C-alpha cells in the first residue's frame, strides 16, 4: 500500500498547550510521526510516497472548509506577528471567544484584532498555531487527497501519514490539535471522484466532532465514531449517542461513546456495532481516521487497548472488503505510537 508521507510535518511544532490554567508541553509533537517512520523502516508494510505537486488541493480544501476560515489560516502567522512583533517568538493561542449568540455576544461584526479573530476560529486553547502550521497542515491535506486519488485509481488501501491531525477541525474552526480535516478532505474527494456513498469510521479516542459536523446534514457520507463519553472526555460539547444527523442526513451519523477505562473486550464489541452500521450503509469506500490514543499507555486518554489488539482491529476492518483511506490522527504514547500504527497496517493484510 502507498503511505503518503507529509515531509513538511515537522514545520508544525507547537511548544505548549493550555491545560487547566497551566501551559504544559505539547502532546502532539513531531517525534510521533518519526516513530512511525522508524517502525516502517523495520517492518516495511507499505511504500512511502509523496503527494504530487499538481493536485487540485485548494479546490479540495474549499469542499470541506469555508473560504474565510482557509484565508484566516493562510495568513494567521503573518497577522499574529503584526499584532506584536514580539509574537514571532511565541505560539499563537486564543484567549477570548465569541460564545454562541445565546450568551448575548455579537458575531455579526467581524473583529479586526487578531486575538479576537483567533478566538472566532479556534474552539480551544490547546492548539498552538506556529509559523509552520499552515505549511504542514496544507501538505497533510495533500497527502489525504493523494491517498483518495490512489484509491480511486484502484489501490485497495492508502494512508495519509501526516500531522497535525485533522478530525477535530470543522467547516470553519480549528482545535484539538487540528487545522484541516484530512479525513473529510479524503471522504469528499472519494465522493467527488464518483463514489456516491462513502463511510467514515473514526477510531480515535476523542469524538471526531469536525468530521461529524462537516457531514451532519448529508446522506451520502455516513459518519461513525467510537470514543470516550463526551460527558467526561474531550471535546465535551459533541459526540453524544443521540446525535443521529439532521435533515437529509438524519440517520447517517452514529456515535458510540464509551466510559473512560473501557478495555478491549467492550471496545471490540462496539467496533462490531459500528462495522455493522457501515455495512448496512453499503458504502463504496471507507475512510478511517486512525487515532492510536485508545492505547492503554496513552497519557491523555482513557481506553485500554494493547499493542497486539491493533492487529485484530485492522484485520476486522479489512474484512469489510472496502477500498479504504486511513488518516493519522491522535496517539500520544510517543514511544509506542510507531509499533501501534504499523500493527494496524500489518493487520490490514489479513
Ligand atoms: C487528535 C486528537 O487526539 N486531539 C486530542 C485533543 C485533546 N486536547 C485536550 C487534551 C488535554 C489533556 N492535557 C493533559 C495534560 C496532563 N499533563
Ligand atoms: Zn484523539
Distances (CA, A) of 298 to 179, 193, 337: 22, 36, 9
Grid coordinates 486511513 are at which residue? 326
> Counting Cβ atoms within 10 Å, is residue 343 exposed (0-12), middle (13-18) or buried (19+)?
buried
At residue 100, the pLDDT reads: 76
Cell of residue 331, nine digits = 496517539
Q: pLDDT tens for residues 238-289?
A: 999 999 999 999 999 999 999 999 999 999 999 999 999 999 999 999 999 9
Q: How confident is the model at residue 102 (pLDDT cuts 50, 70, 90)?
A: confident
At residue 120, the pLDDT reads: 94
The total number of residues written for the chain in this structure: 350
Ligand 1 centre distance from Cα of residue 123 (Å): 13
Could you give phi then psi for residue 58, rounded to 5 degrees?
Answer: -60, -40
Least confident range from 24-28, 104-108, 135-139, 238-242: namely 104-108
- Does residue 103 carry a pLDDT above 90? no
Residues within 5 Å of ion ligand 2, judged at the Cβ atom: 204-206, 291, 293, 330
Ligand 1 centre distance from Cα of residue 201 (Å): 21
| CA–centroid distance for 288 within its chain | 10
User: What share of the chain in percent tops pLDDT 70?
Assistant: 100
Cell of residue 47, nine digits = 511504500
Could you give phi then psi for residue 52, rounded to 5 degrees?
Answer: -60, 150
> Counting Cβ atoms within 10 Å, is residue 312 exposed (0-12), middle (13-18) or buried (19+)?
middle
Cell of residue 205, nine digits = 479516542
How far apart are alpha carbons 80 and 113 in whole angstroms? 10
Looking at the CA of residue 291, tell me the nearest atom of ligand 1: 3
Instruction: Please tell me which residue, 154 or 105, carries the higher pLDDT value.
Output: 154
Looking at the CA of residue 329, tell me the nearest atom of ligand 1: 1
Distances (CA, A) of 303 to 128, 229, 266, 295: 26, 11, 10, 6
Q: Give the mutation target among 177, 202, 226 for probing the ligand 1 site: most ligand atoms within 8 A of CB.
A: 177
- Does residue 299 carry a pLDDT above 90? yes
- Does residue 13 carry a pLDDT above 80? yes
Angle of CA points 54, 167, 205, to nearest 5°: 140
Ligand 1 centre distance from Cα of residue 168 (Å): 12
At residue 161, the pLDDT reads: 99
Distances (CA, A) of 2 to 28, 80, 127, 133, 149: 24, 37, 29, 25, 11
Q: Does the global pTM surpass 0.85?
A: yes
Q: How confident is the model at residue 183 (pLDDT cuts 50, 70, 90)?
A: very high
| Ligand minimally distant from the alpha carbon of residue 162 | 1
Grid coordinates 485497495 are at which residue? 156
Q: pLDDT tens for residues 66-93?
A: 999 999 999 999 999 999 999 999 999 9
- Does residue 170 carry a pLDDT above 90? yes
At residue 350, the pLDDT reads: 84
Grid coordinates 459518519 are at which residue? 223
Ligand 1 centre distance from Cα of residue 65 (Å): 23
Choosing from 167, 168, 206, 207, the catalytic residue is 168
Q: pLDDT tens for residues 21-41?
A: 999 999 999 999 999 999 999
Average pLDDT score, the chain: 98
Nearest alpha carbon, ligand 1 atom 3: 330
Q: pLDDT tens for residues 201-251?
A: 999 999 999 999 999 999 999 999 999 999 999 999 999 999 999 999 999
Looking at the CA of residue 332, tell me the nearest atom of ligand 1: 3
| CA–centroid distance for 33 within its chain | 14
At residue 231, the pLDDT reads: 98
Instruction: Please tell me which residue, 163 or 350, carries the higher pLDDT value.
Output: 163
Nearest alpha carbon, ligand 1 atom 7: 176
At residue 21, the pLDDT reads: 94
- Does residue 296 carry a pLDDT above 80? yes
Ligand 1 centre distance from Cα of residue 165 (Å): 12
Q: pLDDT tens for residues 190-199?
A: 999 999 999 9
* 12 among known catalytic residues: no
Q: Where are the beta strands (DSSP E) in the chain?
A: 2-5, 16-19, 22-25, 47-49, 157-161, 198-202, 221-228, 253-258, 285-290, 324-328
- Does residue 141 carry a pLDDT above 90? yes
Residue ranges lining ligand 1, Cβ < 6 Å? 19, 24, 126, 165, 168, 176-178, 204, 206, 234, 291, 293, 300, 329-330
Angle of CA points 300, 347, 266, to nearest 5°: 50
Average pLDDT over residues 4-16: 98
Amino acid at each position: 500500500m502507498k503511505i503518503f508521507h507529509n515531509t513538511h510535518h515537522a514545520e508544525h511544532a507547537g511548544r505548549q498547550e493550555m491545560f487547566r490554567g497551566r501551559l504544559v508541553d505539547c502532546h502532539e509533537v513531531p517525534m510521533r510521526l518519526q516513530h512511525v517512520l522508524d517502525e516502517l523502516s523495520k517492518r516495511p508494510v507499505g511504500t512511502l510516497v509523496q503527494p504530487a505537486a499538481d493536485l487540485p488541493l485548494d479546490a479540495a480544501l474549499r469542499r470541506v472548509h469555508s473560504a474565510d476560515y482557509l484565508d484566516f489560516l493562510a495568513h494567521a502567522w503573518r497577522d499574529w506577528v503584526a499584532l506584536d512583533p514580539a509574537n514571532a517568538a511565541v505560539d499563537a493561542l486564543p484567549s477570548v471567544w465569541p460564545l454562541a449568540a445565546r450568551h448575548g455576544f455579537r458575531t455579526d461584526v467581524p473583529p479586526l484584532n487578531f486575538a479576537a479573530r483567533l478566538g472566532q476560529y479556534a474552539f480551544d486553547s490547546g492548539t498552538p498555531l506556529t509559523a509552520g502550521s499552515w505549511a504542514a497542515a496544507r501538505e497533510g491535506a495533500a497527502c489525504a487527497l493523494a491517498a483518495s486519488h490512489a484509491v480511486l485509481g484502484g489501490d485497495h488501501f492508502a494512508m495519509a501519514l501526516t500531522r497535525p491531525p485533522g478530525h477535530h477541525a470543522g467547516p470553519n474552526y480549528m482545535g484539538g490539535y487540528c487545522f484541516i480535516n484530512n479525513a473529510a478532505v479524503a471522504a469528499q474527494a472519494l465522493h467527488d471522484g464518483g463514489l456516491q456513498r462513502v463511510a467514515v469510521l473514526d477510531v480515535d479516542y476523542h469524538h471526531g466532532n469536525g468530521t461529524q459536523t462537516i457531514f451532519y446534514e448529508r446522506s451520502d457520507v455516513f459518519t461513525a465514531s467510537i470514543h470516550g463519553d463526551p460527558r467526561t472526555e474531550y471535546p465535551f460539547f459533541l459526540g453524544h449517542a443521540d446525535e443521529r444527523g439532521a435533515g437529509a442526513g438524519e440517520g447517517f451519523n452514529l456515535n458510540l461513546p464509551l466510559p473512560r477505562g473501557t478495555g478491549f473486550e467492550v471496545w471490540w464489541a462496539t467496533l462490531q456495532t459500528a462495522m455493522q452500521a457501515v455495512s448496512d450503509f453499503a458504502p463504496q469506500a471507507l475512510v478511517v481516521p486512525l487515532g492510536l490514543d485508545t492505547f492503554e499507555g496513552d497519557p491523555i486518554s482513557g481506553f485500554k487497548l494493547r499493542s497486539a489488539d491493533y492487529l485484530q482491529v485492522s484485520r476486522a476492518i479489512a474484512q469489510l472488503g472496502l477500498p479504504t483511506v486511513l488518516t493519522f490522527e491522535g496517539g500520544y504514547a510517543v514511544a509506542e505510537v510507531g509499533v501501534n500504527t504499523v500493527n494496524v497496517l500489518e493487520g490490514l493484510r489479513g
